[in-house]
Amino acid sequence: MRWRFAVLALGLALGISGPVFSLAQAPARVPTVGVLIPGPATSPSVGPTREAFERGLKDLGWTPGQTVRIEYRHAEGKRERLDELARELVRAKTDVLVARSAQAVRAAKEATTTIPVVMSAAGLDPVQLGFVSSLARPGGNITGLTLLNDELLAKQLELLKEIVPRMSRVVVLGSVTAPLNPKGREALDAAGRTLGVQVQYVDVRDLTGLDSAFAEAIRTQANAMLIRADPFVMEANDRRVVALADKHRLPTAYWLETYAQLGGLMSYGADLLDVHRRSASYVDRILKGARPADLPIEEPTKFELIVNLKTARALGLTVPPSVLARANEIIQ
């Protein structure tokens, strides 16, 4: 009893108003954001994409490591690990899950129906895959950004035709686990007809199918190739894909700049760093109380064209000035 009066007297002497126990209030809880990534932690893109995402959070007033905790999980190019890692992040009571591929979104969707999921760098159509009801009104616990990878194939074909005017048959190489959406295929077929190019589709299941796919392209006298997005077959084996294109002297267009940096002829796709930076705005709004169901899904607004002139010269190709003028980066 004497101790209680002593504390009260001390509070009055110091001019403190309100209950004395307010001095010992627990610190505010720091929210946790889990980031689910299909590729390896050693990928060259890891540093830049992490920096872009965290910069986006900082621009919105968050301080990673202080006012928000970020838990990164890498599946190391193994599909089966995604499900395990998604469940792990759910068990850790993560406040928001950021999924960086359509496969990562699916793993997150199967792991939770309550924790908000933000798509970042998800290349497939989320409506077609059943992730959301519509782009304008997602309706569930998933929202975020798409990459329009399939829709951009037609543009890649147009650019490739400018660089390879003799192109008459192109093989579109993809993975059976990342099906081409009907809208993208329709646009690509239409572009092929307009450009006088026959479009041939070849899908592989894993790394072992890459050699036979390129052999099939040569057998059918294809004189160019488009590589579709897939984190577990294509991106996981990007060096092998580029090496095979070089071995068979096939001018090839890709969606990801990493391929061009590894020696691919050209890449055209969404600016991934901008996409990862923008995904932070979804995390910010959700942590401040917004519902994923009410946040419209966004499409990319910035695109990058990378041209590898060294590879063009090795293939005996002359890249026209009209293409070079549009390039964001030219690799000599």
CA distance 60 to 54: 10
Say yes or no: 323 and 214 in one domain: yes
CA distance 188 to 246: 24
- What is the count of structural domains for the chain? 2
Q: Is residue 119 part of a domain?
A: yes
- DSSP β-ladder status, 303-308 and 329-331: parallel
pLDDT at 123: 78
Say yes or no: 70 and 217 in one domain: no
pLDDT at 11: 47
Say yes or no: 312 and 184 in one domain: yes
CATH of the domain at 76: 3.40.50.2300
pLDDT at 97: 98
For residues 122 and 147, the answer to whether their CB atoms sit within 8 Å is: yes
Which residues form the domain of 310?
153-270+304-331
Query: Cβ atoms within 10 A of the Cβ of 247, count?
Result: 10
Q: Is residue 1 part of a domain?
A: no
pLDDT at 19: 43
Say yes or no: 163 and 76 in one domain: no
Say yes or no: 214 and 323 in one domain: yes
For residues 173 and 240, the answer to whether their CB atoms sit within 8 Å is: no
Say yes or no: 142 and 69 in one domain: yes
pLDDT at 16: 44
Would the CA dihedral through 129, 133, 137, 138 be positive or negative? negative
The whole-model pTM stands at 0.86
Say yes or no: 37 and 66 in one domain: yes
Say yes or no: 209 and 65 in one domain: no
Say yes or no: 36 and 88 in one domain: yes
pLDDT at 20: 44
- DSSP β-ladder status, 303-308 and 266-270: antiparallel
Overall residue count recorded for the chain in this entry: 332
Complete edge-to-edge strand list for the sheet that includes strand 252-254: 198-204, 169-175, 224-227, 252-254, 266-270, 303-308, 329-331
Say yes or no: 219 and 323 in one domain: yes
Contacting residues for 129 by C-beta, under 8 A, at least 6 apart: 102, 105, 106
Say yes or no: 185 and 51 in one domain: no
**What six digits make up the tokens of 309?**
């002139």
Per-residue pLDDT of the chain (332 residues; tens, 9 = 90+): 444 444 444 444 444 444 444 445 556 789 999 999 998 898 888 899 999 999 999 999 999 999 999 999 999 988 889 999 999 999 999 999 999 999 999 999 999 999 999 999 887 788 888 899 999 999 999 999 998 888 899 999 999 999 999 999 999 999 998 888 888 999 999 999 999 999 999 999 999 999 999 999 999 999 999 999 998 899 989 999 999 999 999 999 999 999 999 999 999 999 999 999 999 999 999 999 999 999 999 999 999 999 999 999 999 999 999 999 999 999 99
Say yes or no: 208 and 276 in one domain: no
